[in-house]
Structure 1
Amino acid sequence: MTNPGPPRTVAVLGTGTIALGWTALFAAAGFDVRIASTRADAEEHVERSLPQYARSLPGGAVPPEKLGARLSFHRTVEEAASDAEVVQENVLEDLSLKQDVFRRAGEASPGALLLSSTSTLLPADLGARLDRPGRVIVGHPFNPAHLVPLVEVVAAEDADPADVRAAVDFYARLGKTPVVLRRAVPGFVANRLQSALLRESIHLVREGVVTVGELDDIVTASIGSRWAVVGPFQAFHLGGGAGGLRHLMAHLGDGLERGWAGLGNPPVDAALKEKLLTQADEAFGAHSYPRLAARRDRAQNAVIAAVREAGSADDAP
């Protein structure tokens, strides 16, 4: 990234769920946001969607019209990227498509920081059509992108360390928690953890141990609230009492592999899909998506704020 000083203009490529979250957050942070989308009704779509994001921003609700005043819409990737210092890509998870988008964005703005919201593709592959492939850096958010603090920053081996630092600084400026992965692995970290838990959740529902709704209640009433405060390793460290993780591993470590061997590996066949969908309809179908999303966003903001406040209290003299 060759532009001096903090960025002022961001190009958002795409208008899907993740792109909308980024758009609202960028605009709320004071950036001018240049949007490129293949949708014929892109401007109307963003205008309809923006209120949902505007009222649940981490710093408090912002009038949608105030956010909208910072947005501009462009017909092509080149137009959106040409005056941008940062490009956040959010197009379909199609490698060839993303490679072409980054080639075009990179040529249109040689000094821009090129970031991808991909959840599955590796940065070296994304930048393959650029003169410097390592220029593309993954900035993978966790949904909803405007609320959840984590951004996984993933760079290719030949990435310029200055670009990685610029990506970290950019996300930190937004109030995010950027974590640089030490090496690129498929699925990154957060989604791999989520996938492991989801697999066992589906196994337990398939075996009739719990329903979809009951499984969610168990998670939110136990490990979900715990993990909002401490991660898995610190939780087990505390579980070992004064002796910490060393004490726990000495007593329970040998049984870990036996426990893992008993976990499920359910086949995702038609019968399982129908069971999951039927139970999901029973558990969540009474409420519309906007209502469920609004409830989630309010609660998510409350949890994040409470944890932050508790941490500040610990640091107080």
Structure 2
Amino acid sequence: MTEDITCIGVIGTGVIGASWAAYFLARGFDVSACDPMPGAEAKLRETVRAHWPILEKMGLAAGASPERLRFSNDLKRALDGVHFVQESGPEREDLKLALFRDMDALLAPDVILASSSSGLLMSVVQAACRHPERVVLGHPFNPPHMIPLVEVIGGALTSNETVERTMAFYAAIGKRPIHVRKEVPGHIANRLQAALWREAFHLVQEGVATVADVDTAIAYGPGLRWALMGPFLNLHLSGGEGGIKHMLDHLGAPIESWWADLGTPNITEELKQQLSAGVEAALSGRDSAQLAPARDALLAGLIEAKAGTDKLP
């Protein structure tokens, strides 16, 4: 799959698009980017430069260079010579429909149009295209230049071949793609996150815990295990020799009682202020600008460590 792809179109160069662009460059591709916003090119190149040191630490492909990035605010020029498109435009259905209609008209039918959309369904987006079979969701996890996960989802008219080619492409460039077999709002990872956020917000709102307490509970508790294995394998290990069945036989009823007691908060202005104040308190005495670089350095080490073992799935 990758042998046929040398130039990738990155359409939309905000936070996600710029991160994708940096990653594709680091994997040795030419990248042709497009974004109509004023100053987009300068901001994109600056972002790629900022991401490059951590990408170098994680390992560059042969020939990788930020100089292989070209930019145009004209969609037709940007798509010239492109073999795969990663779209990361605004999460607005009207804009997405118009953009995919235009890209579909400009590109050969065998060029895959993958969207980074976190919420829109490809069955809706592909309806604007003459070749809907090549439209697929390739939803990354932020930041895409570091996190391996990509959720691949076809719409109602997406061909099986497109899904298979997209999965193969992402896997070949170092990603960990999963095939989401049914379209649901938020896909998989964001729905799982949302479930945790809902209870986290509820616990703060009800005065059970502070923002810092909740973050500590996850970051120094189950979050450490989740970074290594997913929830089902962690449950399996919790069951000892009997595995997940033994664990559920003994703790299934308590888990169900916790589910029944989970909160359903509304994100009111009062709750927004409460959470914002909690974050400010948690960051007291710390430079918030250093959080992302510190996170990225630890992420790089964790990803390298996980890649170095065949003991974990």
TM-score with structure 1 setting the length: 0.91
- Measure how far apart 1:115 and its partner are: 0.3
Matches within 5 A, 1:43-82: 43-57=41-55, 60=58, 67-82=65-80
Bigger shift: residues 208-217 or 113-122: 208-217
- Measure how far apart 1:33 and its partner are: 0.5
Give the gaps of 5 or more residues in structure 2: none
Q: What is residue 255 of structure 1 aligned with on the other side?
A: 254
Q: What is the rounded CA distance, in whole Å, between the counterparts of 1:90 and 1:246 in structure 2?
A: 41
Give 1:170's aligned amino acid. Answer: F
Does the 8 Å contact 1:13/1:37 carry over to 2?
A: yes
Please state if 1:109 is matched with 2:107. yes
- Measure how far apart 1:150 and its partner are: 0.4
Match among 16, 21, 33 for residue 18 of structure 1: 16
Q: What is residue 142 of structure 1 aligned with on the other side?
A: 141
Deviations 1:71-126 (A, max 9, x none): 11112222212311101101100011111111111111123110000000111111
- Measure how far apart 1:19 and its partner are: 0.6
**Closer/same/farther in 2, CA of residues 278 and 71 from structure 1, 3 Å limit:** same
Q: What is the rounded CA distance, in whole Å, between the counterparts of 2:293 and 2:218 in structure 1?
A: 20
Secondary structure at 1:213 match in 2: helix
- Measure how far apart 1:47 and its partner are: 2.3
Bigger shift: residues 210-219 or 94-103: 210-219
Does the 8 Å contact 1:123/1:134 carry over to 2?
A: no
Q: What is residue 294 of structure 1 aligned with on the other side?
A: 293
TM-score with structure 2 setting the length: 0.93
- Measure how far apart 1:42 and its partner are: 1.7
Deviations 1:6-34 (A, max 9, x none): 30000101111111110000011111100
Q: What is the rounded CA distance, in whole Å, between the counterparts of 1:61 and 1:30 in structure 2?
A: 11
Deviations 1:239-258 (A, max 9, x none): 11111111122222233322
Bigger shift: residues 136-145 or 107-116: 107-116
Does the 8 Å contact 1:123/1:137 carry over to 2?
A: yes
Secondary structure at 2:128 match in 1: coil
Deviations 1:207-264 (A, max 9, x none): 2222212211111111111011121111111111111111122222233322101111
Q: What is the rounded CA distance, in whole Å, between the counterparts of 1:285 and 1:17 in structure 2?
A: 26
Q: What is residue 152 of structure 1 aligned with on the other side?
A: 151
- Measure how far apart 1:166 and its partner are: 1.3
Does the 8 Å contact 1:114/1:137 carry over to 2?
A: yes
Q: What is the rounded CA distance, in whole Å, between the counterparts of 1:256 and 1:60 in structure 2?
A: 39
Does the 8 Å contact 1:58/1:147 carry over to 2?
A: no
Secondary structure at 1:69 match in 2: helix
Q: What is the rounded CA distance, in whole Å, between the counterparts of 1:286 and 1:54 in structure 2?
A: 29
Q: What is the rounded CA distance, in whole Å, between the counterparts of 2:194 and 2:53 in structure 1?
A: 30
Does the 8 Å contact 1:82/1:105 carry over to 2?
A: no
- Measure how far apart 1:282 and its partner are: 2.0
Please state if 1:235 is matched with 2:197. no
- Identical columns (%): 36
Does the 8 Å contact 1:139/1:153 carry over to 2?
A: yes
Give 2:105's aligned amino acid. Answer: E
Q: What is the rounded CA distance, in whole Å, between the counterparts of 1:231 and 1:285 in structure 2?
A: 32
Give 1:234's aligned amino acid. Answer: L
Bigger shift: residues 123-132 or 52-61: 52-61
Does the 8 Å contact 2:86/2:115 carry over to 1?
A: yes
Q: What is residue 207 of structure 2 aligned with on the other side?
A: 208
- Measure how far apart 1:281 and its partner are: 1.6
Q: What is the rounded CA distance, in whole Å, between the counterparts of 1:4 and 1:52 in structure 2?
A: 26
Q: What is residue 266 of structure 1 aligned with on the other side?
A: 265
**Closer/same/farther in 2, CA of residues 61 and 234 from structure 1, 3 Å limit:** closer
Give the gaps of 5 or more residues in structure 1: none
Please state if 1:97 is matched with 2:95. yes
The total of aligned residue pairs comes to: 308
Q: What is residue 188 of structure 2 aligned with on the other side?
A: 189
